[in-house]
Structure 1
Amino acid sequence: MPIRIDHPVRPGLRMECADDGRLLLTQGGRPVLFARQRAAHRGVHYARTGRYVSPLAPPRAADDRALAALAPPGSEEWTERWAARWAAELRGAAEGPLHEGDWQLAPMLPGWFVEDHWKLLLPHDTDRGHLTWFGYDDPVEDARDLLPLRALSAPDAPRVKAYRRRFREGPLAPVLLWWISGLNVPVVLDGHDRLVAALAEGGRPHVLLLSRAVDAGYVAVCSERPLREYEERMAALEPGPLAPVRAGVASRRLADALTAIERATEITRAWPLAGGVAGWERAAAAHVPGWAPPRTP
């Protein structure tokens, strides 16, 4: 779902940056997440402050049932209805991430989530940690495909238990993610407890990803090659009983390529942090005392 925003210039939830890979996510002026990229861009060290609050109202069981009655859960229509709801709420969220420009809210592209990484999320979710981008010799548990903005609740927490019952009855509302390019992972904007509930029940959550949209010129340029290759394949098809099958394969390949281009994520905007490096260091010492991320390659 495309979202066009004309204001605000500085959103309530925003990333700020200083030199040498220093990042700070703030919400309503509150520090939420400190991060520092590794020198060779192999990963990022992070520290949560525990002060994040979802900008959305939690969906009720009646909401899940109402949307499931309108469209089959997990279907494209069901997903679009949730996307429309989240988009409307985000527009009015004073402490949300939307700022002027073009955005998109859509399911994650296939292949982003590595199945083996899901089992690492619950046992290795810590307020201070490291996310690897390319593996190398990093610990296996550092390979995670999303970052919660607050500590995940225990699987037997009362609210999670309620969501687990709802999950057994039918799909929960999607978990809302936000792509932050400086972290190279999406963060969880809303649905931390729904995420835990789905995983605790041995399932996988439905997710919607919020990101800045790439411009039309990028889409047009990047679409030229797959369109040309599709035309060449179709022109080379020889008549015969397998021709319709091969044409169908070529069409699906083209559709997947164009979808990936259209839903590519734009670089996340970051604002200069007041005080620069010294300001970041002071804030980190005050809000995550003792955290000293190594500047390793």
Structure 2
Amino acid sequence: MRRATREPLPGDGLVLAVPGEALGPPGMRFESRRDGAWVLRQGERPLIRARVEGDGCCRDLRLHRFTGFRSPLPPVSAAAMRTGPDWPHRYALQLEDTENGPLHGGRWRLTARRHFAPGIWSADLVQDWPHATLELLCGGGWHGILPLRPLPSPDAPRVKALRKHAREGTLAPVLVWWISFLDGWVLLDGHDRAVAALAEGMQPQGVELARVPDDAVWQTTARIVTEAHAERMARLAARPPHPNTARQRRTLERHHADLIATLPYETAGTPVFDAPPSG
């Protein structure tokens, strides 16, 4: 993949604008099937097959995961963890260099995720393997963490070594991919590190990968919002003078500016590709 254009974000993070010629299906991708099921595929290998079952608002997502997942990131050495690099930028560079990841044409945000809501890494961490059932909330959401390989034992040798890093505060963050139609995350890298942190009574820290709107999309929304804002300001200007008019004008201007500033970085829908006829 040709190098993406980088836009730094305040704090720890950046947006990658992947070149348009990379619009073909990426190495890791979700595919929808004609029978209503979906597949997460890495290359030609299926990683997950899933189907929504039940009637009404709150339904179940039944899924089966397969072995063979390959992390899109290379292993993190102990020396790298101790140097504490800028992890979002490091992971961005590594995702550009792999054929096993989800990046393709469009804009992607990578940001440090130091805190998750209570329960995300406990009750909502899927530990069953290979079958699992996710209880979807109304609207289809779930809001949990879905590993792509069996989680190791806290006493596994590799995990024991990583637990020392967790105690020292040098453990590298995991990489999680926000999936809009799950309202939750897929764990792309750091299964052992996640277990090590949890074994030490800590919540794993992460770097979150998420799709954000393409320029044409958010700019169109910005024009619509700006036109509506101009109409509200014109109506306000047409009213009889009032002591609160200036305050109302400042409030409208501030809300408009805040909204325009966030449009390019809001989470967008996760791309889903059509499965081939034999998929």
Q: Is the 8 A contact 2:51 2:63 kept in 1?
A: yes
1:142-186 CA-to-partner distances (Å, cap 9, x unmatched) read 966111111111111111111111111114111111122333321
> Residues of 2 paired with 1:193 and 1:35: CA distance?
25
Q: Give the partner amino acid of 1:159.
A: R
Q: Is the 8 A contact 2:165 2:171 kept in 1?
A: yes
Q: Partner residue of 2:178?
A: 179
> Residues of 1 paired with 2:223 and 2:200: CA distance?
44
In structure 1, list runs of 5 or more residues that go unmatched. Answer: 69-80, 137-141, 238-246, 281-297
Aligned-residue identity in percent: 37
RCO (CA 8 Å, sep 6+): is it higher in 1 or 2?
1
Q: Give the partner amino acid of 2:91.
A: W
Aligned residues, how many? 242
Q: Partner residue of 1:114?
A: 117
In the TM superposition, 1:1-297 aligns within 5 A as 1-6=14-19, 7-8=21-22, 9-38=24-53, 40=56, 42=58, 43-67=60-84, 81-108=86-113, 113-120=116-123, 124-134=127-137, 145-215=144-214, 216-217=218-219, 220=222, 236=247, 261-275=263-277, 279=278
Q: CA 1:164/1:103 → structure 2, altered by over 3 Å: closer, same or farther?
A: same
Q: Partner residue of 1:286?
A: none
Q: CA 1:212/1:147 → structure 2, altered by over 3 Å: closer, same or farther?
A: same
Q: Partner residue of 2:239?
A: none
> Residues of 2 paired with 1:128 and 1:44: CA distance?
11
> Residues of 1 paired with 2:198 and 2:223: CA distance?
40
Q: Give the partner amino acid of 1:63.
A: A
Structure in which a larger fraction of residues adopt strand = 2
1:180-209 CA-to-partner distances (Å, cap 9, x unmatched) read 233332101111111111111100111111
Q: CA 1:263/1:29 → structure 2, altered by over 3 Å: closer, same or farther?
A: same
Q: CA 1:197/1:95 → structure 2, altered by over 3 Å: closer, same or farther?
A: same
Q: Is the 8 A contact 1:44 1:183 kept in 2?
A: no
> Residues of 2 paired with 1:167 and 1:47: CA distance?
31
Q: CA RMSD in A?
A: 3.5
Alignment partner of 2:62: what SS? strand
> Residues of 2 paired with 1:53 and 1:257: CA distance?
39
1:94-122 CA-to-partner distances (Å, cap 9, x unmatched) read 11111111111113497xx3313422256
Q: Is the 8 A contact 2:88 2:112 kept in 1?
A: no
Structure in which a larger fraction of residues adopt helix = 1
TM-score by length of 2: 0.73
Q: Is the 8 A contact 1:24 1:35 kept in 2?
A: yes
> Residues of 2 paired with 1:37 and 1:269: CA distance?
18
Q: Partner residue of 1:288?
A: none
Q: CA deviation at 1:35?
A: 1.1
Alignment partner of 1:98: what SS? coil
In structure 2, list runs of 5 or more residues that go unmatched. Answer: 1-13, 237-243
Alignment partner of 1:271: what SS? strand
Q: CA 1:109/1:158 → structure 2, altered by over 3 Å: closer, same or farther?
A: closer
Q: CA 1:58/1:109 → structure 2, altered by over 3 Å: closer, same or farther?
A: closer
> Residues of 1 paired with 2:246 and 2:128: CA distance?
52
Structure 1 stretches of at least 4 aligned residues deviating more than 6 Å after TM superposition:
221-224, 231-234, 253-260
